[in-house]
Structure 1
Amino acid sequence: MLTVGDKLPALTVPVQQGTAALPAGETLDLGNTGGRWKILFYWPKDFTFVCPTEIVGYGELKQDFADRDADLIGASTDTAHVHFAWRKSDEQLAEADFPWIADNKKELADALGIIAPDEGVAYRATFIIDPDNVIQHVAVNGLNVGRNPAETLRVLDALQTDELCPCNWNDGEEVLRPAA
C-alpha cells in the first residue's frame, strides 16, 4: 500500500460528476496538481449502505476543503454509468458535486494497494496529497466502518500549518513550540 512520502500515481482516470448528462468519457489527470491539495477517498461499492453516508459527509465539507486549496475527489471500482445512476437515484448524492473516479479497471486502486483481496473492491481509504503530489496522510478502514470527514479536514488543517500539532489539535489552537 502506498503511504506517507510516496507519490500519487500520475494516472489519467475516468470520472463522473453531476446528473445533467450521461457520462461521456470525462477524465481527470491526477498528475496535474494545479498547486492544490487533493483529498482522495475510496468507498467499496455504489448502491450500498455505509458509502452514501460518507459521500454526503464529505460533500457537506466540500467548500471547507476548497477554502484550504484542496480538491475533493471520490472513487470506487464502479463504472461512470453506475455512479451516474446512483446520483440520479438519491438527491443527497446528487448534491455531492465533486468528481467520482470510475475505477472499474482497478488501475488506481491497485496502484495504491487498497483492494480488499476477498471482496475485490477497494477498502475505505483516504489519502491527503500535497501540491507536489506527495501523500501526506493515509487512513484505511475495513469495509463495514465509515470514516469521519471532519477528521480528514482536521488533519489537513494540521498538515498545512507545517508545525508540530498535538493530539486532538484543531485549527486556531496553539501548536507545540519546543524549548530552544
Structure 2
Amino acid sequence: MLTVGDSLPEFNLKAVTSLEPGQEFSDITQNSYAGKWQVLFFWPMDFTFICPTEIAEFSRRNEDFEDRDTQVLGLSTDTHFVHLAWRKDHDDLRDLNFPMVADTKRELSQALGILHKEEGVALRATFIVDPEGIIRWVSVNDLSVGRNVDEVLRVLDGLQTDELCPCNWEKGEATLGVA
C-alpha cells in the first residue's frame, strides 16, 4: 500500500460531476486540481448501506474542505454510469458537490494498494494529498466501519499548519514548539 511520503499515482478516470443532461461526466486526472490539497476517499460499492452515509457527510462538509483550499474526490470501482444511477436514485446523493470518480478498471485502487483481497473492491481508504501531489495521511477501514469526516478535517488542519500538533489537537489550539 502506498503511504505517507509517496506520490499520488497518475490516473485518468471518468467522474460524475453533474446531473445536467449532457454534462454528467468529466475526466479527472491527478493534475485536475494541481496546486490544491486533495482528499481522496474510496468506498467499496454503490447501492450499499454505509457508503451513502459517508458520501453524504463529505458533501455536507464540503464547504469546510473548500475553506481549506482542498478538493474532495469520492471514488469506487463502480462505473460512472452506476455512480450516475445511484446519485439519481438516492436522495442524499443527488446534490453532491464533489466528483464521484469511477475507478472501473481498479487501476488507481490497485496502484494505491487498497483492494480488498477477497472481494476485489476498494477498502474504505482515505488519502490526504498535498499541493505537490505527495500523500501526507492515509487511513484505511474495514468494509464494515465508516470513517469520521471530522477526523479527516482535523488531520488536514494539522498538516496545513506545517507545525507539530499534539494528540487530540484541534484547529485554533497551540502547536508544540521545539526546545
Give the AA of the match of 2:97.
D
Gaps of 5+ in 1: none
1:61 aligns with 2:61: yes
Greater Cα shift, 43-52 or 16-25: 16-25
- Checking the alignment, whether the CA contact within 8 Å between 1:130 and 1:136 is kept in structure 2 is yes
How far apart, CA to CA, are the structure 1 residues paired with 2:126 and 2:24?
27
Q: Distance in 2 between matches of 1:3 and 1:98?
A: 24
Q: Give the drift of 1:50.
A: 0.3
Give how far 1:25 is off.
5.3
Greater shift in the superposed pair: 104-113 or 22-31: 22-31
Change in Cα spacing, 1:32 to 1:97, as seen in structure 2 (3 Å) is closer
**1:96 positional shift:** 1.8
Which amino acid in structure 1 is aligned with residue 152 of structure 2? T
- Identity, % of aligned positions: 51
Amino acid across the alignment from 2:144? N
Match of 2:133 in 1: 133
Contact 1:77 1:121 in 2 (8 A): yes
Could you say what secondary structure the match of 2:31 adopts? coil
Distance 1:102-1:151 versus aligned 2 partners, 3 A rule: same
Secondary structure of 1:156's aligned partner: helix
State the Cα distance separating 1:22 from its structure 2 match.
5.9
After TM superposition, give the deviation of residue 75 of structure 1 in Å: 0.1
TM-score by length of 2: 0.96
What amino acid does structure 1 have at the position aligned with 2:84?
Answer: F
Separation of aligned partners in 1, 2:24 and 2:149: 29
After TM superposition, the structure 1 stretch with the greater mean CA deviation from structure 2, 7-16 or 24-33, is 24-33
Name the counterpart of 2:28.
28
2:123 partner amino acid: Y
Q: Which residue in the other structure is 2:106 paired with?
A: 106
Q: How many residues align?
A: 179
Which residue in the other structure is 1:13 paired with? 13
Alpha-carbon distance between aligned partners in 1 of 2:14 and 2:20, rounded to the nearest angstrom: 17
* CA drift at 1:26: 2.1
Residue equivalent to 2:149: 149
1:24 CA drift (Å): 6.2
Tell me the TM-score normalized by structure 1. 0.95
How far did residue 122 of structure 1 move?
0.3
Q: Which residue is 1:94 aligned to? A: 94
What is the CA–CA distance in structure 2 between the aligned matches of 1:87 and 1:104, rounded to whole Å?
Answer: 17
- Is the CA contact (8 Å cut-off) linking 1:76 and 1:102 kept in structure 2? yes
The one-character-per-residue Cα deviations of 1:86-114 (angstroms, maximum 9, x if unpaired) are 00011211122211111111011011110
Q: How far has the Cα of 1:29 moved from its partner? A: 1.5
Provide the rounded CA distance (Å) in 1 between the counterparts of 2:119 and 2:12: 25
**Does the alignment pair 1:37 with 2:37?**
yes
Q: Paired residue for 2:115?
A: 115
Runs of 4+ in 1 over 4 A off after TM superposition: 22-25
Q: Distance in 2 between matches of 1:87 and 1:41?
A: 17
Q: 1:24 to 1:18 in 2, by over 3 A?
A: closer
Q: CA deviation at 1:34?
A: 2.6
Q: Which amino acid aligns with 1:17?
A: T
Root mean square deviation, CA, Å: 1.3
